[in-house]
Amino acid sequence: MMDFALTEEQEAVRKMVRSFVDKEINPYIQEWDAKGHFEPGILKRLAELDLMGVCIPEKYGGSGMDYNALAIVCEELERGDTAFRTAVSVHTGLNSMTILQWGNEFQKEKYLTPQARGQKVAAFGLTEPNAGSDVAAMVSTAKRDGNDYILNGSKTWISLCDVADNFLIFAKTDKDKGHNGISCFIVERTFPGVTTKAIKGKLGIRAGNTGEVFLDNVRVPAENLLGEEGEGFKIAMSALDNGRFTVAAGACGLINASLEASLKYCHERKTFGKEIGKHQLVQQMIAKMAANLDISRLLVYRAGWLKNQGKRNTRETSLAKWVSCDAAFEAANDAIQIHGAYGYSNEYPVERYLRNAKAPVIYEGTREIHTIMQGEYALGYRTDKPLNKMLPAWPFEE
């Protein structure tokens, strides 16, 4: 039986992260956003609060909470700014949870444990300049050379590119096998031949670090191969189930932030002798935000419930990501409309919300990709089978 009532622990997590955001992000985020500054101190504070491995088992250095606790953390962080939710999405959702699912004990001890403790920061390298939605079009290569692999290529739009200590890098070990020729590697920044460069001039998420990773004859120990050769595509898709889950949860936070800002302004601003909240068309926009917040949260919690059961959740996570990210963009757009001319300036946070809301509609599966996926599920053209390696069900066994 599905029960989405929050536990006392989850309520405490929400309260803690909300307080953290109000004290340590909201007072400074406008300045960081304007300067395009990523504040690494936030990650250190999240580590001190045991939030960099919130859903990683305690035996691997995590907090051992369930997957919906991770959703709550991501929602509250994005209520502050998308940049810091993105950091947790990438570090925990895309990287650490993937090592938890696919890694061997050596890899979990060496990489997952320090990441879950926040001692190391992790990133995810799948996208290339000419390979986004079409993963098989990647050109990065990995060639076996004795006890090592030699990696060459580049990745782009990589969050935490200049900050991360460890990367999950996908490359082709067999260029003739398409999807089945892709493999995944744990790559350390300190490996010779790894360089990074930040991307400037972004529309939104300006307080985040995003950029390119270059691999020039990078020698990676064979023991850093995650899973088996040729399993990279399966690993990437399972990682996206986790990353998309955190993106969807974050979108709830942006809807909530847009709603909170709009409610405040509705009570402050008067036109035609009454609060603008008294006008029915404004109420319509407010009602839509409130409804979409509930809808999006329920979709996220259902996906989290399936994760807690150790069940495949690709369809449910895709639906949550698609619906919540579209709703977040709509909520931010309506929030600007409610604020009128003031919403068009950075005097109020809603213009930043709209800029930030666009990227999640694109990354980790565009709106169009998720639309096609849901259509194929409904028509019976697409079905999911359990992977040979699933995330561990919660509560975790020690």
Q: Which amino acids are annotated catalytic?
A: 364
For Cα atoms 319, 99, 1, give the angle at the middle one, nearest 5 degrees. Answer: 45
CA-wise closest residue to 247 among 366, 376, 122: 366
The SS3 of residue 396 is coil
Look-up of token digits 């992260």: 17
Residues 6 or more apart whose CB falls under 8 angstroms from that of 33 comprise: 81, 206, 207, 346, 352
CA distance 59 to 368: 39
Pairing type for strands 225-226 and 182-188 reads antiparallel
User: Can you list the alpha helix ranges (DSSP code H) found in 49-95?
Assistant: 67-80, 82-88
Angle in degrees, 0-180, between the axes of helices 350-362 and 232-268, rounded to the nearest 10: 160
Residues 6 or more apart whose CB falls under 8 angstroms from that of 25 comprise: 42, 77, 80, 81, 84
CA distances 254 to 52, 121, 202, Å, are 20, 24, 18
Q: What share of the chain is helix, strand, coil (3-state, %, to 5)?
A: 55, 15, 30
> 188: which DSSP letter?
E
146 in Cβ contact with 174 (< 8 Å): no
Amino acid at position 300, single letter: V
Q: What is the dihedral of CA 215, 216, 221, 223, to 10 degrees?
A: 30
Cβ-based neighbour number of residue 7 at 10 Å: 13
Look-up of token digits 């639309």: 371
